Amino acid sequence: MIIMSRKLAEVLAAKRESKQIEFKESFDAGEPQDWCEVLKDLVAIANSGGGYILFTVKNDGSPSGWDRSQLCTVDPAKIADKILSYTGEHFAEFELLEVERDGKTAALMTIQSVHTPLVFSQPGTYLIGGANKRPPSVEARFTSGTGQKANRALHRILGNLFGEKLRAFAGRGLATSEKLWPPPEVTR
């Protein structure tokens, strides 16, 4: 428990983002853009060993002033459903917490690591613009068939694939050799 407390203190004291810590100024559950941003970061963090998304913090580490109460009312099942809709995988190894940072209440999402990398099966796109008589355009945060930290994911998948093939090959070889040279019978 002390290790978690120490890590939590490190996260809350962070002044910049890292591989395991992502800052978000705000989140609007009604905006597809915000969902795509959070899901992109959640998948990247899960695929690279786990970590945290700290809401109400600007990229420079300063407080954004955003009221985190909207995020804290989002049902975690809705987040898991969004992950499922974009990756085809059931992933709910995260938790939303209210924490105090610099004397203000913030929202923290803790994200566990995955054993099998999450890969997007649907593109994370949304409409932007459309103001000042310009037509709206489509922005993509991620595309299908990709996952954040793709090289690590690919190496894990290949390792698992070839590991299984080698085990299957070795198993077939053992079964064949036992047919040709049965083990000696044990008598008592």
For residue range 24-71, list pLDDT tens digits in order.
999 999 888 999 999 999 999 999 999 999 999 999 999 998 888 888
Q: Between 124 and 112, name the one with better pLDDT.
A: 112
pLDDT on residue 96: 93
Give which of 52, 40, 39 is closest to 11, Cα–Cα: 52
Task: Name the pairing type of β-strands 104-111 and 21-24.
Answer: unpaired
Torsion of CA 33, 37, 39, 45, to 10 degrees: 180
State pTM to two decimals: 0.70
